[in-house]
Amino acid sequence: MTIRRSPRWAGALRAVVCGCVLACGGCRGNSPEYRAGALPAALMAVPAQGFRHVDLSRLATHVPDSNILQPGDLVKITVATGLEVEEPVLWNLRLGDDGAVHIPLIGPVAIAGLAPTEAERVIHDESVRRGKFVDPNVSVMMLEPRSHRVTVVGAVKKPGTYRLPATNSNILAALVAAEGLAEQAGTVIEVRHPAPNSAFAGFGGPVPGFPNGTGPVGAWATPAAAAAPFGRTDTIDLTIGPAIPGDTRLEDGATVMVRPKESRFVFVNGLVRKPDRYELPDEQDLRLLDALALAGGRTMEIADEVKIVRQTSQGGEPAVIIASVRDAKQNGAANLRLAPGDVLTVEETPTTFVIGTIREFVRFGFTSAIPGF
């Protein structure tokens, strides 16, 4: 009878495999773990929030009739009596903050809030009542509406300082003047308002909705103190606001800054072909199977267990989440939505270690028999 001897590496293989099985049986730590399919709400990742989900029209304000005269508007007023030898005298006058225009010979006349035709009648009546004219022919024409100078910086296509009509001076109008948001724009906007006693402070007093940092704005805007010449800074997160965020008017001298979006990554390592960090998309969720696909897939199809280390919102110890590739393919809840900073590891198990060891020994056994390898 012929007795075949096993290669010398076969005995070593058996010894290594037995040792691995015994050693890996106690590899799990004692830290509490969560299953991906039954994750507590506090540990669930927030769905992706890009500008596709944001209603930018909330940044606008109600725009009054552009034909209505407002404080600060420049108007041309002509008063003709029919007795002039030459052309009637006309004046280019600006309405004061009190809404009145000071007309030579007649004096101050309040015309703010009126259409030009209504202002003509008021000026006519006042000139007659004050005994200045008998029956004048009055003409009022809008030359230039009052404007606010607003600076837009940050992640916009054309940063700069722009003049906006005072009646339409709001965050949305400022962004439109800057030709819109840049590709790298995030969803957080800072608005720096001028101090009440600064040279840029406009008329009208404090902005409704932000009195002393309170009001209906709520979580949509977080007021904070700022150094002169700015009086208050409001940080606006567009992803958490209500349907109507509050007043978004900009006073003369305000600054709007659009913060660039922060880079958000997940890290994939372990039994994958391309371990690396991968950026989270802005407009859609990245899930467990997506991340594994980005990493080139698993080096072994039998590798099923994935461990996710996730930072908690409380800033304490990170949570450890155990997921299964097989479960993720069968159950949407188990295909975990990933959060920024997640660290994914396709785990080594006794089974994967044994198969990997056998592969190495088999490859070594074949190549060692070939000269030159």
**Which stretches does DSSP call E strand in the chain?**
33-35, 74-80, 90-94, 100-103, 107-110, 137-144, 147-154, 160-165, 185-194, 221-224, 230-237, 255-260, 265-270, 276-279, 305-310, 319-324, 343-346
Q: CATH number, domain at 300?
A: 3.10.560
- 213 and 232 assigned to the same domain: yes
In a domain, 202, yes or no: yes
Q: How far is CA 154 from the centre of its chain?
A: 12
Q: Which of 82, 113, 144 delimits the end of a domain? A: 144
Q: What is the pLDDT of residue 364?
A: 56
- 155 and 140 assigned to the same domain: no
- What confidence tens digit (pLDDT) does each residue in 34-49 have? 888 788 888 888 887 6
- 235 and 292 assigned to the same domain: no
How many distinct structural domains can be found in the chain? 3
Share of the chain above pLDDT 90, in %: 42
Is residue 280 within 8 Å of 254, Cβ to Cβ? no
Please enumerate in sequence order all residues whose Cβ is within 8 A of that of 159, keeping only pairs 6 or more positions apart, or say none: 152, 153, 178
- 167 and 242 assigned to the same domain: yes
- 31 and 83 assigned to the same domain: no
> 207 or 31: which carries more pLDDT confidence?
31
> 195 or 200: which carries more pLDDT confidence?
195
99 pLDDT more than 80:
yes
DSSP classification of residue 59: G
In a domain, 1, yes or no: no
- 119 and 218 assigned to the same domain: no
Determine if the peptide bond prior to 88 is cis (ω within 30°): no
> 28 or 342: which carries more pLDDT confidence?
342
In a domain, 235, yes or no: yes
**Distance of alpha carbon 318 from alpha carbon 304, whole angstroms:** 22
Q: Which of 96, 113, 144 delimits the end of a domain? A: 144
- 163 and 248 assigned to the same domain: yes
- 133 and 190 assigned to the same domain: no
**Distance of alpha carbon 191 from alpha carbon 256, whole angstroms:** 5
- 43 and 130 assigned to the same domain: no
Q: Which of 46-50, 241-245, 320-324 has the lowest mean pLDDT?
A: 241-245
Tokens 């080096």 belong to: 299
160 pLDDT more than 80:
yes
DSSP classification of residue 249: B
In a domain, 69, yes or no: no
Q: What is the pLDDT of residue 295?
A: 94
Q: Which of 72-81, 194-203, 336-345 has the lowest mean pLDDT?
A: 194-203
**Distance of alpha carbon 353 from alpha carbon 356, whole angstroms:** 5
- 32 and 115 assigned to the same domain: no
- 135 and 163 assigned to the same domain: no
For every residue of 271-331, DSSP letters joined together read SBSS-EEEEPPSSS--BHHHHHHHTT-BS-TT--EEEEEE--TTSSSPEEEEEEHHHHHH-
In a domain, 267, yes or no: no
Domain enclosing residue 80, as ranges: 74-144
Amino acid identity at 329 = K
- 153 and 238 assigned to the same domain: yes
Tokens 């305000």 belong to: 254
Q: Which of 119, 144, 169 delimits the end of a domain? A: 144
183 pLDDT more than 70:
yes
In a domain, 4, yes or no: no
pLDDT band at 362 (very low <50, low <70, confident <90, very high): low
